[in-house]
Structure 1
Amino acid sequence: MKRLAVIIGLALVGLMLVSLARTWSVRPQQPSVIDGSGTRFDPAKVATHLAGTLRFATVSAKTAERLPFEELRQYLRQNYPQIHSHSSEYTVGQASILEWQGSTPTLNPVLFYFHSDVVPASDGDWSHPPFSGTIDKDYVWGRGALDDKGGLIAFLEAAERLAGEGYQPRRSIFLVVGEDEELGGRQGAARVAAQLRQRRVHLAALFDEGGFITEGLIDGVEKPVALVGIAEKGYLTLQLRVETAGGHSSLPPLETAPGILSAAILKVQNCQLAGGFHGPAESMLRTLAPHMSFPVRLGVANAWLTLPFLERGIRSVATTRALFFTTAAPTVLRAGERDNVLAANAEALVNLRLIPGDNPQGASRRIEECIADRRVKVSNHSGNTTIGPSPISPMDSLAYRTLAGTIAANYPDTLISPWVTVGATDSRHFADLTDAILRFLPLRLSKPDLARIHGHNERVAVTDLADAATFYYRLIQNLNL
């Protein structure tokens, strides 16, 4: 018995030493800097150009007024004449395209995607009217400043200067500006992608919105973190429906339609959906763990031992759960019309965001299994807007290394990490045209700024715009070395 106790004790000591050794062996790994030639941009000038775009109320709607979009296109032609004169300009559906011809036709082109449509905004609760394009002290205020006109203007500033300097890229560059991204991009991005397929274009890389330079957004990491989306979650909305006989509220049955539906919704919220400590989110945590507390480093470095505890911790926090797992959120409830009449029918809409590795059919089956009640009918409500998760873009690709190296050069005190984009972007329409879709905007975003996207008081810092223009100036050249 003593010998067994000694053996167990030695094994535990050995296990502890191995765990500590693995923990201390974890070292920060950041990409090599790709410096390239840089240039500075006048913050006031860039801010003025962005403010001008924000005054066009390019609000997305199925019957959107087209005049603001046409006026915006004309505004961009007037303020960026060099890049327009050096490119072919055309429209495809609800998207405008600049095609900047490269000097080496055998090289695959790159595509930069932005969108000019914005979600609606009313004047109430805004410090400045949402379509005033106000420049107040250090910020440009207006709907679309972050999502997505700020990135568009920064890119155009860089392209305009390069074209004016006589620069010609080796590989062709497409600048695509979608006008219905907030509605799913089916009249814009989807049609552009279809045309590129017809032309048999294969892209070396596609750059879209998705990640930002986050400040204070990731608990336990003090430095700013540039989040580069290498994958995107899928989208599925399910309808849960219960049908009963109804009747008078004075003689209720033991279970009513709303009651049955409520029980089903509770089961959905407690359902263990697909995901876990793997994929892009694992890469993110392993990248950032060396900059976090010792317990986190210990857990990540020894995931082979700590996996159950890691995943339990990940599930307990909404932000991390969204990165590692498929999520399901009840969003719409409907039942009954009068207070003294039993609702014959009750229904709910549940929106799911699918982690890479999951799929709409599997997620729907899992929800049915969790509900386990034949009285609750589960059906696909999102129809043709349903889409599976994107492929995962490799981090060892030339495109990722170039993007990461350019970020490192432009923002030297910033950590660079892959992540999963939890919202939908128009890049999904191009998934079969390239192996490298990278979702990143070189704009700084703090916790309070998160609520500004699609919320009140959307704004972007003037200095951030100028820095972003310098970033794109370098990136365009680095992609053509």
Structure 2
Amino acid sequence: MKKLKLSLTIIGVMLLLFITITMFNTLTLKSRQPQPDPFNGTLDEDHAIETLSQAIQFKTISYQERSKMNMVEFSSFLSFLEKSFPKVYQNLEMEKVNDYALVYRWKGSNQEKSPVGLTSHYDVVPVLEGTEENWEHPPFSGTIADGKIWGRGTLDDKIGVIGILEAAEHLLSEGYQPDRDIYFMFGYDEEIGGDEGASEIVRTLNKRGINFDFVLDEGGAIVENMVPGVDKPVGVVGISEKGSATAELMIEGSGGHSSQPKNRTNIGRIASAISKLEETQFPADLQGPGEDLFEFVAPEMSFGMKYVFANKLMFEPVIERILLQQPASAALIRTTVAPTIFHAGEQYNALPEKAAAIINLRLMPGDSLDKVKQYIEETIDDDQIKVTIEGSEASGVSSVDSWQFKAIQQGARNVYQDAVIAPYLMFAGSDAKHYDSISENTYRFLPVQLTSDDLNRMHGTNEHISIENYLDAIRFYMEIIRESDKQ
């Protein structure tokens, strides 16, 4: 009986200690959001709205088959920019790289400081053939209606190009002189990899020894209902982007008549390999940018969720199981496997002599192409299947404790005062990855508030932006230029 009482006493003490420690961690969790310094200024709203509307009307469409790109439209767009932003072209140095990529240098008064760069792209994806009639307003009309601007590029990413130039034009009209050099860099083939746009800009600047304190590109946005337990809008700033790779699983062997199949056919073996990969999946681990995201949003959560994330070391397995339940949050903590293409067979009664499957993978930082290939081979465990893989590694991970990130966070809070601004891992690709080699930090953030429907429209039908959202983007670009000068 005494031993039982002693055991219960020990358990009680341990439980009390556990509760004390976890409650202390929860109650002392401090917000990582800066106090807003609300934007104070005016814009030439009519000019801004009309300029974006006109910009949308240029069909600067990127195609994987580059010969299909109408470069007359690209040249016309560049002429349009010069006419639309006279103060920018009078006061900033501008050069063309590879004829169509643009670099503007706004010379600062203090050449001891490293420059910062704002980058975007003006090419857009095609409109899927046969869907034109599904648009409420034609995709290249730039229609202004119902408090919105309609057309391809309003979200991705002429809003960035025009928004940045509008911000500069307005600051110049106020007589603003930056302390450090500010560069604006606009690619023209981001939608097909940026190899002749952003990549060539980087090569050009690298030869001149130019290195940035940070570069800010498109990427995350301000969204609602993204993070469980947070009822405020959350603005996510990409501090890294996943690598993108294509793996091919291929097997060759004798075919034969389908009336006498082997127990394991080529199709069956490839299908079995795919099944193993989907059932096993890559290991999940809440670390890096995913962990940073929850460190920034945890203080803003409801009490129950805050309690869990304030004590992540104790509850990490539970957190990971929760995150794995939804594809979007699962992608935040593991390399993803997505079989997309299957090649096998030509005739219904003949066994194919060759079968192959294509898998799209998005690599977590730290998962190299070699590691991913090895994991696939070990998981499928079939030495008759040849595995090849090609693609890009994940980008570097930028700092969340630096003044650079804090300047972006402050600029966003100044415009979107109720939003929680946090780092995250970007799943898609952007031109930002090209700037890693010449920038201390690269960040990815489109300063607009989007719904889930907006995200679906970004490369889809009825792409549009609300006028207020667009004007807020201009305000943000003005703020980030000013905030950068404070450092």
TM-score by length of 1: 0.95
Counterpart position of 2:52: 50
Amino acid aligned to 1:7: I
Q: Aligned partners of 2:350, 2:149: CA distance in 1, in Å?
A: 53
In structure 2, the partner of 1:151 is: 160
Q: CA deviation at 1:120?
A: 0.7
Residue in structure 2 matching 1:459, options 456, 464, 484: 464
Aligned equivalent of 2:291: 282
Residue aligning to 2:106: 100
Offset of residue 65 of structure 1: 1.5
For residue 9 of structure 2, what is the aligned residue in structure 1?
Answer: 6
Please list, as runs of the form range in 1=range in 2, the aligned pairs for 1:217-256 lying within 5 A after superposition. 217-256=226-265
1:75 lines up with 2:80 in the alignment: yes
Within-5 A mapping of 1:464-475: 464-475=469-480
* Aligned counterparts, 1:256-405, within 5 A: 256-380=265-389, 382=390, 386-405=391-410
In structure 2, what is the Cα distance between the partners aligned to 1:350 and 1:87?
A: 46
Return the alpha-carbon distance in structure 1 between the equivalents of residues 399 and 170 of structure 2: 31
Q: Deviations over 1:305-362 (max 9, x none)?
A: 2122221222222111111211111111111122222122111111111112221111
Deviation string, structure 1 residues 165-220 (Cα, Å, up to 9, x no partner): 33221212211110110111111111111111110111111010011111233343
Instruction: Give 1:26's aligned residue.
Output: 29
Aligned to 1:197: 206
Tell me by how many angstroms 1:276 deviates: 1.0
Q: Is 1:119–2:128 an aligned residue pair? A: no
C-alpha deviation, 1:274, in angstroms: 4.8
Cα deviations by residue, 1:95-147 (Å, 9 ceiling, x for unpaired): 12222222222221111111111111041422111111111111111111100
Alpha-carbon separation, structure 2, partners of 1:34 and 1:358? 40
Indicate conservation of the 8 Å contact 1:38/1:470, yes or no. Answer: no
Given the superposition, is the C-alpha separation of residues 274 and 174 from structure 1 closer, same or farther in structure 2, using an over 3 Å criterion?
Answer: farther
* Matches of 1:205 and 1:22, distance apart in 2: 33
Give the equivalent residue in structure 1 for 2:40. Answer: 38
Which amino acid letter does the alignment assign opposite residue 292 of structure 1?
Answer: M
Distance, in Å, in 2 between the alignment partners of 1:59 and 1:158 is: 25
Q: Does 1:479 align with 2:484?
A: yes
User: C-alpha deviations, 1:397-452, integer Å up to 9, x for none?
Assistant: 22111111111111111111111111111111111211221111111111111111
What is the aligned counterpart of 1:134 among 137, 143, 152?
A: 143
1:67-117 deviation line (CA, Å, top 9, x unaligned): 111111111111111101112221112412222222222221111111111
| Residues 1:294 and 1:165: Cα distance change in structure 2 (over 3 Å) | closer
In percent, how many aligned pairs have the same letter? 36
Structure 1, residues 222-262: CA drift from partner, whole Å, max 9, x if none? 11111111111112111111222112222222122121111
1:275, 1:355 within 8 Å by CA — same for their partners in 2? no
State the AA in 1 paired with 2:436: A
8 A contact 2:235–2:421 mirrored in 1: yes
- Aligned to 2:457, the other structure's residue is in SS state coil
SS at match of 1:21: helix
Per the alignment, do residues 219 and 138 of structure 1 end up closer, same or farther by CA in structure 2, a change over 3 Å counting? farther
- Aligned-partner Cα distance in 1 for 2:25–2:135: 51
Residue 185 (structure 1) aligned with residue 194 (structure 2)? yes
Q: Which moved more, 1:159-168 or 1:429-438?
A: 159-168
**1-side partners of 2:307 and 2:281: how far apart?**
26
> What is the CA–CA distance in structure 1 between the aligned matches of 2:180 and 2:339, rounded to whole Å?
46
Measured in 1, the distance between the counterparts of 2:477 and 2:90 equals: 19
Which segment is superposed worse, 16-25 or 130-139?
16-25
Instruction: Output the CA distance in 1 between the equivalents of 2:485 and 2:23.
Output: 44
| Deviation of the 1:162 alpha carbon | 1.6
> 2:163 is aligned with what amino acid?
A
SS of equivalent residue, structure 1 residue 378: strand
Q: Deviations over 1:360-416 (max 9, x none)?
A: 111111111111111221102x3xxx2211221112222111111111111111111
Q: Flag the 1:340–1:43 CA change in 2: closer, same or farther, 3 A.
A: farther
Verify the 8 A CA contact 2:408 2:480 in the aligned structure 1. Answer: yes
Paired letter, 2:20: L
SS of residue matched to 1:145: coil
Tell me the amino acid that sits aligned with residue 479 of structure 1. S
Tell me the matched-pair count. 476
Residue 438 of structure 2 is matched in structure 1 by 433
Instruction: Give distance in 2, aligned partners of 1:59 and 1:219.
Output: 38
Instruction: Provide the rounded CA distance (Å) in 1 between the counterparts of 2:162 and 2:28.
Output: 43
Which one has more relative contact order, counting CA pairs under 8 Å at least 6 apart?
1
Aligned to 1:213, what secondary structure does the other structure show? strand
Distance 1:95 1:271 in 2: 44
Distance 1:166 1:293 in 2: 45
**Partners in 2 of 1:47 and 1:249 — Cα distance?**
64
Compute the displacement of 1:472 (Å): 1.4
Q: Report the CA distance shift for 1:247/1:43 in structure 2 as closer, same or farther (over 3 A).
A: farther
Once the two structures are TM-superposed, the CA of residue 42 in structure 1 deviates from its matched residue by: 4.1
Distance 2:219 2:423 in 1: 11
Structure 2 residue runs of 5 or longer lacking an equivalent are none
Aligned to 1:146, the other structure's residue is in SS state coil
Structure 1 contact 41–467 (Cα < 8 Å) conserved: no
